[in-house]
């Protein structure tokens, strides 16, 4: 197969900086609309006011170039690299980490990554990023960037259910975890769910799932119905916006499924806070 195209890591570097600037300061319009829709459905005055303030926070962040959250997150990047694409320049991971470091310095973003999980020395750059790569057909490079704050990431969960588990069991487990997480992940949540695969595949898919986009349903009606069941059950927990009570605990549910072993049924949960900071770029 002949190579059709090449790209230099300088272009990747620039694109990452641009996306990190955008998602740290600007909340997607679809998320703001979701706050408004939830506010209209709320009966609790406190929940309504909380949703209103979340929208106001987003407005101020965008207008004043103040980060949406003081926790500027871990940088998680999924790259789909076309097999007919040649990447020239620095090593890919080197270019990515240099871009993260430059963005967090340039835009005065909080640096939260420590070099070692036990000795806790801050790297001072918010790098390394957590980079996942896949080789796909074509000659393009697609980057999906997700910022995860510590509060929501700490509420991540994985349960290896028995393959005989029913849909009711799955819904009950997910709603129970959302109830237990309470205010810690800063709801209303954008809930990514990885079903199937191995444990590690399910966890990665739970993060990838949110890139399907707000306002969309799973293309398979079976899973679309399950997403709605999960959202209804989670909103019946009464956790509400920022844990103040109400019916707006989960704003959206995204399922990403994968083939799995006959003896396994992994269920992975990626709880994203109300500031859903994700974007994608194609080079």
CB within 8 A of 232, min separation 6: which ones?
none
Given a cut of 70, whether residue 214 has pLDDT beyond it is: yes
pLDDT digits (tens, 9 = 90+) for 37-94: 999 999 999 999 999 999 999 999 999 999 999 999 999 999 999 999 999 999 999 9
pLDDT digits (tens, 9 = 90+) for 114-136: 999 999 999 999 999 999 999 99
Maximum alpha-carbon separation in the chain = 62
Q: What is the 3-state secondary structure (H, E, C) of the chain?
A: CCCCEEEEHHHHHHHHHHHHHHHHHCCCHHHHHHHHHHHHHCCCHHHHHHHHHHHHHHHHHHHHCCCCCCCCCEEEEEEEEECCEEEECCCHHHHHHHHHHHHHHHCCCCCCCECCCCCCCECCCCCCCEEEEEEECCCCEEEEEEEECHHHHCCCEEEEECCCCCHHHHHHHHHHHHHHHCCCCCCCEEEEEEEECCHHHHHHHHHHHHHHCCCCCCCCHHHHHHHHHHHHHHHCCCCCHHHCCCCCCEEEEEEEEECCCCCCEEEEEEEECCCCCEEEEEC
Is residue 3 very low, low, confident or very high in pLDDT (cuts 50, 70, 90)?
low
CA-wise closest residue to 69 among 33, 17, 112: 112
**Confidence (pTM):** 0.96
- In DSSP terms, which residues pair with 114 in a beta bridge? 122
Given a cut of 60, whether residue 163 has pLDDT beyond it is: yes
Report the pLDDT averaged over residues 227-234: 98
- In DSSP terms, which residues pair with 159 in a beta bridge? 267
Report the pLDDT averaged over residues 260-272: 98
CA-wise closest residue to 21 among 126, 94, 100: 100
pLDDT of residue 4: 81
Q: How far is CA 82 from the centre of its chain?
A: 23
Q: How far is CA 258 from the centre of its chain?
A: 18
Given a cut of 80, whether residue 234 has pLDDT beyond it is: yes
Contact (Cβ atoms closer than 8 angstroms) between residue 267 and residue 191: no
CB within 8 A of 143, min separation 6: which ones?
12, 15, 16, 19, 77, 78, 79, 280, 281, 282, 283
Report the pLDDT averaged over residues 160-176: 98
Is residue 2 very low, low, confident or very high in pLDDT (cuts 50, 70, 90)?
low
């Amino acid at each position: 197969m002949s190579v059709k195209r090449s790209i230099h890591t300088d272009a990747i570097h620039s694109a990452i900086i641009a996306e990190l600037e955008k998602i740290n300061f600007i909340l997607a319009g679809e998320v703001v609309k979701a706050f408004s829709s939830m506010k209209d459905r709320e009966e609790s005055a406190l929940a309504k006011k909380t949703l209103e303030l979340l929208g106001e926070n987003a407005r101020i962040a965008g207008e004043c170039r103040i980060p949406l959250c003081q926790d500027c997150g871990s940088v998680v990047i999924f790259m789909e690299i076309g097999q007919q694409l040649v990447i020239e320049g620095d090593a890919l991971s080197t270019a990515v980490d240099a871009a993260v470091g430059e963005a967090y310095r340039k835009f005065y973003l909080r640096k939260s990554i420590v070099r070692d999980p036990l000795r806790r020395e801050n790297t001072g750059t918010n790098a390394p990023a957590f980079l996942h790569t896949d080789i796909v057909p074509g000659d393009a490079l697609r980057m999906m960037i997700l910022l995860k704050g510590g509060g929501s990431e700490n509420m991540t969960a994985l349960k290896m259910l028995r393959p005989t588990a029913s849909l009711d069991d799955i819904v009950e487990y997910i709603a129970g975890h959302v109830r237990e997480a309470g205010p810690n992940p800063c709801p209303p949540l954008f809930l990514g769910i990885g079903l199937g695969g191995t444990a590690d595949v399910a966890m990665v898919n739970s993060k990838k799932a949110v890139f399907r986009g707000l306002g969309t349903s799973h293309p398979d009606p079976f899973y679309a119905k399950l997403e709605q069941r999960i959202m209804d059950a989670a909103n019946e927990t009464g956790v509400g916006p920022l844990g103040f009570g109400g019916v707006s605990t989960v704003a959206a549910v995204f399922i990403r499924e994968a083939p799995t072993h006959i003896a396994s049924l992994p269920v992975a949960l990626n709880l994203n806070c109300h500031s859903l900071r994700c974007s994608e770029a194609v080079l």
